[in-house]
Amino acid sequence: MGLLRPDSGQLRFTRDGVVLPFAELRPHMAYMPQRQSLYGDLSVSEHLDFFSDLYRLPDEVYRTRRAELLRITRLEDFADRPAAQLSGGMYKKLGLMCALLQSPQVLLLDEPTNGVDPISRRDFWELLYRLADGAVTIVVSTAYMDEAERCARVHLLNEGRGVAEGEPRAVLREAGAKSFDELYLRRAAEAA
């Protein structure tokens, strides 16, 4: 997002075959960190109000977006609950809502389901699928290999180096592996 310079590699976004400069793309990107810095004493609604002000969303845009996000995350009944009193999965959904308020075209998620229960993980991924169907490009970093298998494309890293990339089924087939856990452990052992 512009804070650290990459050691190597390249990331390019294109529109109609033309590479976009980062400065043009940045306003259309959102980031959800692994460890969110939400305010425990603010309610779900107050967080949305706060981030709406940060993003300078017009009131009519905010009202519509707020209602939509509360509905798709199923947090309508928890709008007045302070963040400190949310379950782990609800807390992650609140962080996601704050990132999604500005209707980004690109969403960067750093281990979004780390530390949440299996049902919340499933619900979170169902939400990501809906976003992807709505033309949001989603980049996920995860240590959960079953989550990597859910992605349209993967890039497996070990100690910062790429060990495999491509469409998940094709990567597994090419490597002769049954799962990404198996593939990752094999590649990590080869690199050692």
60 — phi, psi (to 5°)? -65, -35
Angle at the Cα of 184 (from 181 to 163), degrees rounded to 5?
Answer: 150
Sheet architecture: strand order including 137-141:
29-32, 106-110, 137-141
Query: Residue 47 in contact with residue 94, Cβ under 8 Å?
Result: yes
98-117 burial, b for 16+ CB within 10 Å, e for fewer?
bbbbbebeebbbebbbbebe
Distance CA 183, CA 150 (A): 15
Query: Residue 93 in contact with residue 75, Cβ under 8 Å?
Result: yes
pTM score of the predicted model: 0.83
Q: 3-state class of 124 per DSSP? A: helix
pLDDT by residue for the chain (192 residues), tens only, comes to 456 676 777 777 777 888 888 777 777 889 998 887 899 999 999 999 999 999 999 999 999 999 999 999 999 999 999 999 999 889 999 999 999 999 999 999 999 988 888 888 888 899 999 999 888 899 999 888 888 888 999 988 877 778 788 999 999 999 899 998 888 888 778 877
Q: 3-state class of 101 per DSSP? A: coil
What is the structure's pLDDT at 180?
A: 86
Residue type, 47: H
Q: 3-state class of 162 per DSSP? A: strand
Distance CA 110, CA 45 (A): 23
Structural domains for the chain: 14-143 (3.40.50.300)
